[in-house]
Amino acid sequence: MPITILDLILLGVMLVSGLLAMVRGFMREVLSIAAWGAAALVTLYSFSKLLPTAKTYFNNDTVASVVVVAGTFVGTLLIVSVITVKISDMILDSRIGALDRTLGFLFGLGRGLLIVVVAFLFFSWLVPDKQRPDWVTTAKSRVVLQGTGDWLMSLLPDDPENTILKKFKKNKPDDDQTDTESPAAGGDGYSKPARDSLKKLIEKPAAK
């Protein structure tokens, strides 16, 4: 079975990704992923605390939510990235710099494989089996890409989109509930001065 275009694409992407990761170093690659994860976590757990403040500046709830999510994520990512870059530069300049670059190359190969696997999954969803070109169906790497893609899909929840939305809704403050509870808190009855005034008004006709 000859090498097809899909095989060459996989080899090319993995090689480029490996070389880039080797230049940057293993620790910088790992810490960059950690920075994205940290930004996502900070955004997720600070959303409910920052949203009320954003609503004071934006009348539209959707705009306020987008500003909170985008601002928190980008801000956290920039701050953490500055820290991780300094750490990775210190490692590259140390004695283990060569080992860090070697591990970075291996990491880049795996990342390149993951990129092609994700692209292959989207291609499989969009293009039916009968309409796929021969350089895809006869590729030597098709079995690896399909198997890795199936494994990744098994790690995802049944409905990832709704799972993420439910998490944000859970952290979102319930403004409607607060508004409905406020009148109820003040609806226990008239205050004492008001009751005294009403009592005097009722007693005046009786005195006449």
* pLDDT tens profile 36-87: 999 999 998 888 889 898 988 888 888 888 999 999 999 999 999 999 989 8
**Structural domain includes residue 104:** yes
CA distance 68 to 59: 14
Give the global pTM.
Answer: 0.64
193 within a domain of the structure (yes/no): no
Residue 201 lies in a domain: no
State the burial class of residue 35 (Cβ atoms within 10 Å of its Cβ: 0-12, 13-18, 19+).
Answer: buried
User: Of 113, 84, 72, nearest to 25 (Cα)?
Assistant: 84
Domain count for the chain, please give it: 1
Residue 185, pLDDT score? 47
Any domain includes 109: yes
Residue 33 lies in a domain: yes
In a domain, 190, yes or no: no
pLDDT tens digits, one per residue of 122-137 = 999 888 888 889 999 8
pLDDT category of residue 26 using cuts at 50, 70 and 90? very high
